[in-house]
Amino acid sequence: MSCELKVKDRAGVINPIFTCQPAGAQYASIGVKDCIGIVHGGQGCVMFVRLLISQHLKESFEIASSSVHEDGAVFGALDRVETAVDVLLMRYPHVRVVPIITTCSTEVIGDDVDGVVRKLNEGLLKEKFPGREVHLIPIHTPSFVGSMVTGYDLTVREFVKYFAQKTVPNGKINLLTGWANPGDVTALKHLLAEMQVDATVLFEIEDFDSPLMPSGNTVSHGGTTIEDLTGTANAIGTLALNRYEGAKAARYLEETFHIPTIIGPSPIGIRNTDTLLQNLQQLTGKPIPASLVRQRGIALDALTDLVHMFLADKKVAIYGNPDLVIGLAEFCLDLEMKPVLLLLGDDNAGYENDPRITSLQQNVQHKMEIITNADLWELEDRITNQHLELDLILGHSKGRFTAIDNKIPMVRVGFPTYDRAGLYRHPVVGYAGAIWLAEQMANALFTDMEYKKNKEWLLNVW
């Protein structure tokens, strides 16, 4: 058998897995406190992305638009950036960080965003907002290259590059979570607390699980401060949990400030969570406590209850962000399942040299396809036209119609998920995430067995 890595063999996109780079830039920017991004482009470049994020997180937050119209799309629209910065700073006196995020239209026009930032720093900020701390950061994210994943990765690096400043060691670890949910951040902070590791968790959105208070509704904000970003240059080490979502910033800190750096693996499943704890131990010298050994044992017991009888040999298709997809595939293999189709939604050249993909190619004992630059038609086509047999689909809500139409059970995981309640609260990382994922998969299979009246008698063995 073989594990084949190949590029989608047709032009065009039918039902994309990802959206564009500015979406990733916006998701990164909402993780920073006292920050409101200005997306320099048409209003839809904010409206539709903001809707997508709000559907996923079910929270209200703030992102601005320069709202470029037809004349700006022809003659240039830098005046819209100047107006947007002025209005934003007047309306929100607490804002200190303003990333200016470009889009396809303004990159094609050739708007000099770096130049207008220099002009605003020397003019508007000194004249109208003297003494106020404001950081304008140009973020170049043209939509015609890359994806929301590369946009996120690039933006995280630009924030760190802008703020990181070497002073004195702070004894902390930089932890770059990648494209995480609030529940993931909570689970990661729990692991750090159990190991007594002092860490700066960067671009974190734990507080996007916001309360409704007697004083009124809460507008959600990220938890990473300017001081956190400045201090990244003074850490004892950097741990980026994902290869494609934060590694650029980690490598920048390593190359510029000589900070020991470990990238990955994404802590999905038991073995990858074990590696995370070992990496923390390596960077800090802190021992892995008995409390986490016990939590690991609870997770192993939960998985043992399910693997042999219900999960083993089940054929799975997985799509979404690459670090998530590969981590889920590794976890499924550990559960004796058979991931047969992995769909990665962009054409990142790094996939060929990804050691995790190389390991899959060398060790998988069944036929597996890994398709890059993929869309969701690749999934639909293989099921309906190539007769791919699947027991389960793992992916975000955009692929639900394929699952529904073909009567294949599906577990929603990744971004965006909006047709199931509260998934952003549940981690997919750590030992708690391993339990949640395995039980979600098992319950999806149980429901399918009952619905199709297929071996539902197995459920009576307990």
So what's the pLDDT on residue 239? 98
So what's the pLDDT on residue 74? 62
So what's the pLDDT on residue 181? 96
So what's the pLDDT on residue 73? 64
User: Could you tell me which residues come within 8 angstroms of residue 1 by beta carbon, excluding any fewer than 6 positions away?
Assistant: 364, 365, 366, 367, 368
Tell me: domain 21-146, CATH 1.10.3470.10, correct? no
User: Could you tell me which residues come within 8 angstroms of residue 448 by beta carbon, excluding any fewer than 6 positions away?
Assistant: 408, 409, 454
Q: Round to whole Å and give the CA distance between 83 and 72.
A: 13
Predicted confidence (pLDDT) at residue 75 exceeds the cutoff of 70: no
Q: What does DSSP assign to residue 288?
A: P
Task: Read off the pLDDT of residues 286-345 as tens digits, 9 standing for 90 and up.
Answer: 999 999 999 999 999 999 999 988 999 999 999 999 999 999 999 999 999 999 999 999
Lowest-pLDDT range of 54-58, 207-211, 453-457 = 453-457
So what's the pLDDT on residue 3? 86
Predicted confidence (pLDDT) at residue 452 exceeds the cutoff of 60: yes
So what's the pLDDT on residue 360? 94
Q: How confident is the model at residue 123 (pLDDT cuts 50, 70, 90)?
A: very high
Q: How confident is the model at residue 433 (pLDDT cuts 50, 70, 90)?
A: very high
Percentage of residues of the chain with pLDDT beyond 90: 83
Predicted confidence (pLDDT) at residue 64 exceeds the cutoff of 70: yes
So what's the pLDDT on residue 375? 95
Q: Round to whole Å and give the CA distance between 191 and 386.
A: 44
Q: How many Å separate Cα 101 from the centre of its chain? A: 18
So what's the pLDDT on residue 300? 97
Q: Matching CATH topology for 3-14+297-461 and 173-291?
A: yes
Hey, is 221 helix, strand or coil? coil
Task: Read off the pLDDT of residues 27-36 as tens digits, 9 standing for 90 and up.
Answer: 999 999 999 9
Residue that wins the pLDDT comparison between 77 and 432: 432
Lowest-pLDDT range of 88-92, 104-108, 320-324, 325-329 = 104-108
Q: Say if residues 319 and 313 touch (Cβ distance below 8 Å).
A: no
Q: Where are the domains of the chain?
A: 3-14+297-461, 21-146, 173-291
So what's the pLDDT on residue 135? 98
Question: With the C-alpha atoms ordered 246, 247, 252, 257, is the resulting torsion angle positive or negative?
Answer: positive
Predicted confidence (pLDDT) at residue 462 exceeds the cutoff of 60: no
So what's the pLDDT on residue 247? 97
Predicted confidence (pLDDT) at residue 381 exceeds the cutoff of 60: yes
So what's the pLDDT on residue 213? 84
Rounded average pLDDT over 119-146: 94
Q: To the nearest whole number, what is the mean pLDDT of the chain?
A: 93
Which CATH code fits 3-14+297-461?
3.40.50.1980
Beta bridge partners of 59: none
So what's the pLDDT on residue 105? 87
Predicted confidence (pLDDT) at residue 215 exceeds the cutoff of 90: no
Residue that wins the pLDDT comparison between 173 and 219: 173
Predicted confidence (pLDDT) at residue 60 exceeds the cutoff of 80: yes
Give start and end residues of each alpha helix (H) in 308-421.
322-334, 355-363, 376-384, 400-405
Note the pTM of the prediction, 2 decimals: 0.95
Lowest-pLDDT range of 75-79, 119-123, 336-340 = 75-79
Structural element, H or E, at residue 139: strand 135-139
Predicted confidence (pLDDT) at residue 427 exceeds the cutoff of 80: yes
Predicted confidence (pLDDT) at residue 458 exceeds the cutoff of 90: no
Indicate the pairing of strand 199-202 with strand 135-139.
Answer: unpaired
Kindly state the tokens that stand for 423.
């998934």
Q: How confident is the model at residue 430 (pLDDT cuts 50, 70, 90)?
A: very high
**Helix axes of 21-29 and 44-57: crossing angle, nearest 10 degrees:** 60
Q: How confident is the model at residue 110 (pLDDT cuts 50, 70, 90)?
A: confident
Q: 173-291, what's its fold?
A: Rossmann fold (3.40.50)
Q: Round to whole Å and give the CA distance between 245 and 259.
A: 19
The closest of 372, 303, 366 to 342, measured between CA atoms, is: 372
So what's the pLDDT on residue 67? 87
Task: Read off the pLDDT of residues 254-294 as tens digits, 9 standing for 90 and up.
Answer: 999 999 999 989 999 999 999 999 999 999 999 999 999 99
